[in-house]
Amino acid sequence: MEKIIDESNQGETLSLDKNIQNTRKLYIESYGCAMNFSDSEIVASILANEGFNTTQELENADLVLVNTCSIREKAETTVRKRLEKYNAIKKKRPHMKVGVLGCMAERLKSKLLEEEKIVDMVVGPDAYKDLPNLIQEIDEGRDAVNVVLSKEETYGDISPVRLNTNGVSALVSITRGCDNMCTFCVVPFTRGRERSRDPQSILDEVNDLWNKGFKEITLLGQNVDSYLWYGGGLKKDFDKASEMQIATAIDFANLLDMVAQVQPKMRIRFSTSNPQDMSLDVIKTMAEHENICNQIHLPVQSGSNRILKAMNRLHTIEEYFTLIDNIKEIIPDCAFSHDMISGFPTETEEDHKDTLAVLDYVKYDYGYMFSYSERPGTMAARKMEDDIPEEIKQRRLSEIIAVQREHCMLRTKQHLGKVEEILIEETAKKDETMWMGRNSQNIVAVFPKENYKLGDFVNVKMNDCTSATLIGKADGLSNIN
Ligand code: SAH
Ligand code: F3S
């Protein structure tokens, strides 16, 4: 008993000290891909050491950071609108500083300072460790910019502060940058060359998450299947590595296996896979481990070989189908999702029909669908005219979405009548008496709470569904708990 009191006293003193030190409030907002959300947790960690506490209230912030996305023009427009909102608040809080992080920072560099007067600081995705210096600059009244891209930075040594967490699922980044140079994509320019994170630091983070009660992780990278650790450095320099480094290198299949073994009860997902880099070893590793979820996000972008070539996607649609067939053979209940782009330059009705045919072939569980948005500086922008009229792009997009919607329904219905293991993530949005979680295939399920708790793995009998949500009833705890 005494010991417990001692410990709690100590805890209080510690948090008191922290409160005295942490006097400034950081409001951080993230847009775009999961990688940005993960990066914001790294930024929050770096700034916690500088005396910043995160706040959920923009109106109380001393420092506002917006982690931005450049993938489509609309993503940038959204951020610019947010900057207007910050401007209105700054009128009431003149000492408030505003920093732009992420892909827009990297793409626009110091131009952002000229275009958006509210911005004090511009920081690219590889420069977050420089934030303490940059903040000192803006504190002294100067604008600050660091958009240097790095060959080594993976933030592997930083323990992220989990933001907006449900305490159950977490993001773990494993690679940074992308070497693929898809002609439509701005990411290789904003996030630099590809590099992988030290596997030991990944395992340490996974163990730490498990000890803190987390039950599910998503391994993140622009192109996870391209993961390759040979002691650090760029992926493209691997051929300059020593014999020893080459012999002991760790690829994504090896990493998955290590992560699955180090915490055999931790659920594992990963994103994103580029079909050209996904090996059968990865699929076999998925099949070998119960705790790796049966779900693959496998963007294809188009069903036309001519368009795939123009996009610099380094596989044909036939090779993609073979990959899908192989996965289905090894993991029969594997769920698939996709990214698709309508209206890439020169796309004909015939090409568009090929895209619809891919949907019909795979019958994806769900997908992310976009109309082509020309991005300055990309190969497509430099070499090809954005020649598909907006209304045609949109019409094709809605046709893709309509087919996908049917497939969502079809796939979700396949789970009806089954008992599936669901990891409870949070209270259902529409009904406080229900839990929300996902099955291995990443399909959302809701069911009455009864006596189950957040983070429990529960066997749920699926009785009903909408196109994207299963509705069920718990049938006891899963024996994994
Ligand atoms: N490898 C990445 C993919 C990056 S972008 C990942 O980890 O998610 C996500 C998706 O955005 C792409 O797969 C593509 O379908 C879409 N996209 C990228 N650039 C685009 C553009 N210029 N116009 C429309 N959609 C685009
Ligand atoms: Fe972009 Fe292609 Fe890489 S979509 S992130 S360049 S795999």
Interval 434-456: pLDDT, tens:
999 999 999 999 999 999 999 99
Measure 100 CA to ligand 2 centroid, in angstroms. Answer: 22
Nearest atom of ligand 2 to the alpha carbon of 272: 7
pLDDT in tens, 72-101: 999 999 999 999 999 999 999 999 999 999
19 falls within a domain: yes
pLDDT in tens, 179-226: 999 999 999 999 999 999 999 999 999 999 999 999 999 999 999 999
pLDDT in tens, 143-174: 999 999 999 999 999 999 999 999 999 999 99
Q: What is the mean pLDDT of residues 255-275?
A: 97
162 falls within a domain: no
Q: Which ligand is nearest to the CA of 372?
A: 1
**Is the pLDDT higher at 12 or at 448?**
448
Beta-bridged to residue 102, according to DSSP, are: 68
- Number of domains into which the chain is organized: 2
Percent of the residues in the chain that have a pLDDT greater than 70, as a whole number: 95
The residue from 115, 146, 177 where one domain ends is 146
Domain of 429 in residue numbering reads as: 419-477
In terms of Cβ atoms closer than 10 Å to its own Cβ (0-12, 13-18, 19+), residue 86 is buried
Measure 8 CA to ligand 2 centroid, in angstroms. Answer: 49
213 falls within a domain: no
Nearest atom of ligand 2 to the alpha carbon of 339: 4
Residue of minimum CA distance from atom 2 in ligand 2: 182
Output the pLDDT for position 22.
55
**Is the pLDDT higher at 4 or at 151?**
151
Residue 7 in this model has a pLDDT that exceeds 50: no
Measure 108 CA to ligand 2 centroid, in angstroms. Answer: 19
Q: What is the mean pLDDT of residues 301-305?
A: 98
Q: Token pair for residue 396?
A: 């094709």
Taking CB atoms and a 6 Å cutoff, what residues make up the pocket around ligand 1? 33, 71-72, 184-185, 187, 222-223, 272, 299, 301, 339, 341, 370, 372-373, 375
pLDDT band per the 50, 70, 90 thresholds, residue 128: very high
Q: Euclidean distance between the first and final Cα of the chain, in Å? A: 29
pLDDT band per the 50, 70, 90 thresholds, residue 481: confident
Task: Give the list of residues 6+ apart from residue 152 with CB closer than 8 angstroms, or none.
Answer: 195, 232, 233
Residue 5 in this model has a pLDDT that exceeds 60: no
Residue to mutate (ligand 1; options 181, 226, 370; most atoms within 8 A of CB): 370
Measure 75 CA to ligand 1 centroid, in angstroms. Answer: 12
Encode the chain in three state secondary structure: CHHHHHHHHHHHHHHHHHHHHCCEEEEEEECCCHHHHHHHHHHHHHHHCCCEEECCCHHHCCEEEEEECCCCHHHHHHHHHHHHHHHHHHHHCCCCEEEEEEHHHHHHCCHHHHHCCCCCEEECCCCHHHHHHHHHHHHCCCCEEECCCCCCCCCCCCCCCCCCCCCCEEEEECEECCCCCCCCCCHHHHHCCCEECCHHHHHHHHHHHHHCCCCEEEEECCCHHHCEECCCCEHHHHHHCCHHHHHCCEEHHHHHHHHHHHCCCCEEEEECCCHHHCCHHHHHHHHHCCCECCEEECCCECCCHHHHHHCCCCCCHHHHHHHHHHHHHHCCCCEEEEEEEECCCCCCHHHHHHHHHHHHHHCCCEEEEEECCCCCCCHHHHHCCCCCCHHHHHHHHHHHHHHHHHHHHHHHHCCCCCEEEEEEEEECCCCCCEEEEECCCCCEEEEECCCCCCCCEEEEEEEEECCCEEEEEEEEECCCC
Residue of minimum CA distance from atom 10 in ligand 1: 339
Q: What is the mean pLDDT of residues 249-259?
A: 97
258 falls within a domain: no
Output the pLDDT for position 302.
98
Q: Token pair for residue 59?
A: 């109106």
Nearest atom of ligand 2 to the alpha carbon of 181: 6
Q: How far apart are CA 371 and CA 33, in angstroms?
A: 17
Output the pLDDT for position 12.
35
Residue 11 in this model has a pLDDT that exceeds 80: no
The residue from 117, 146, 175 where one domain ends is 146
Output the pLDDT for position 1.
31
Residue 344 in this model has a pLDDT that exceeds 60: yes
Measure 312 CA to ligand 2 centroid, in angstroms. Answer: 10
Residue 53 in this model has a pLDDT that exceeds 90: yes
Yes or no: say if 373 and 418 are a contact pair by the CB < 8 Å rule: no
The residue from 146, 168, 191 where one domain ends is 146
Output the pLDDT for position 276.
94
Q: What is the mean pLDDT of residues 365-389?
A: 98
Output the pLDDT for position 216.
98
Output the pLDDT for position 6.
32
Task: Give the list of residues 6+ apart from residue 200 with CB closer than 8 angstroms, or none.
Answer: none
Q: What is the pTM of this model?
A: 0.93
460 falls within a domain: yes
Nearest atom of ligand 1 to the alpha carbon of 271: 7
Q: How far apart are CA 481 and CA 215, in angstroms?
A: 10
Q: Is 231 left (phi over 0), alpha (psi -120 to 50) or beta?
A: left
Measure 70 CA to ligand 2 centroid, in angstroms. Answer: 13
381 falls within a domain: no
Output the pLDDT for position 18.
42
Rg, the chain, Cα only: 23
Task: Give the list of residues 6+ apart from residue 157 with CB closer than 8 angstroms, or none.
Answer: 201
Output the pLDDT for position 21.
52
pLDDT band per the 50, 70, 90 thresholds, residue 132: very high
Q: What is the mean pLDDT of residues 334-338?
A: 98
Q: What is the mean pLDDT of the chain?
A: 94
Residue 175 in this model has a pLDDT that exceeds 50: yes
287 falls within a domain: no
- Which CATH number does the domain housing residue 99 bear? 3.40.50.12160
164 falls within a domain: no
Give me the long-range contacts of 14-21 (CB less than 8 A, separation at least 24): 21/51
Output the pLDDT for position 479.
87
Output the pLDDT for position 239.
87
Taking CB atoms and a 6 Å cutoff, what residues make up the pocket around ligand 2? 178, 180-182, 185, 187-188, 222-223, 274
- Which CATH number does the domain housing residue 446 bear? 2.40.50.140
